[in-house]
Structure 1
Amino acid sequence: MTLQLRVYVPPHPLIKHWLAVARDAATPSVLFRSAMTELGRWLTYEAAREWLPTEETTVQTPLATCAATLINPQIPVAVVPILRAGLGLLEGAQTLLPLASIYHLGLMRDEATLEPMCYLNKLPEKFNPETRVLITDPMLATGGSIMATMAELVHRGVDPSLTRIVCVVAAPAALQKLSAAYPGLIIYSACIDEGLNEHGFIVPGLGDAGDRIFGT
């Protein structure tokens, strides 16, 4: 069976609602941050299906013993927010993954070349090969930042098949690059937008998510 990139756009009404709030240019920063938090929460909820490691056990109820399923605490889970904008989705993700380790990766785009430049890397030297990694980045536009992130993670021992990407909007250009390089990777997005403008921004998109989150 040939592996192929999979992109899920969950049809959840809360995801659609908060996407609409985030898209609106009139939305103030304080409400935009709330929208990012909620999108991070609901998209992570969807991404966690059949991804979080579990173990079978039994528990004693007040009346009887019964089979039960628990999250396996022995298998590590990590969240990698791509700075700055990935922080906007982090709070929502953490509410569902409270025991996950958080590793920050700071990338900024050179507006002349549209290539990513790394200014902060707090990833461990080597990941446990069983680690489940969730990457948060609101916008997959040209694909430069997410490709650089994936390359760095794989170099440090992360299995792409155990990796999930949570974003708010994605453009075909980024998805095509990821599909060619990492077949089998799974992405959860609130929407796949039509494309990029001449400046490499997603259309219709959200504008600059980092600036809108932090009011800069």
Structure 2
Amino acid sequence: MDIESQRQAMIALIEERGVTDPRVLNAMRRVPREEFVADAFRDRAYDDCALPATEGQTISQPYMVAAMTELLAPGPSDRILEIGTGTGYQCAVLSLLAREVVTIERLPGLAESAAERLTRMGYTNVEFHVGDGTLGWPERAPYDGIIVTAGAPEIPQPLYQQLAMGGRLVIPVGDDSLQTLLLVIRGETGPEIHEVSGCRFVRLIGAAGWHDDA
């Protein structure tokens, strides 16, 4: 199949697996995933699986990108914080759905290449930072939504504290081998936590996550 046919087949599979938000599906249709994968994997860009990226990282499975974005439910006027820029694919999807995306990557090489890629592709509402994503980016808080694309041992409190009231945090929490995808909503009396599904992500490294030597 040609690229466009592969993209449509990917969307059809995502729908079959239960993602129904038309805004999310449309955003996924509009982002060319082949631009975010290594040349060696370009012919697999629309396979529904994670693919290797540079510096030991991965580009997430398309279904997981769609499912996490649907849980986050970003609105057109929202400010979203993304933890783990990676290749920039998730960020590109978010930028089509929210007013503003602040994204943090701890690896400078990944952050630089993602910023160059997204800027070249015309995504203009994204603010890039290099740093410890487990601490968030308090200068731009509060956030209507926070999405974490790496697995944490527990919910990082700095991120929860940077949510607006009623804001949503989507994060994988667990050990090295398996995590549970959580939706955490900040409420007046404390966090409202929903367990969504099992998942597997690279470790979230930082002061409020895993340590490098853990």
Instruction: Decide: shared fold, TM above 0.5.
Output: no
Normalised to the residue count of structure 1, the TM-score between the two structures is: 0.40
Structure with higher Rg: it is 1
Normalised to the residue count of structure 2, the TM-score between the two structures is: 0.40
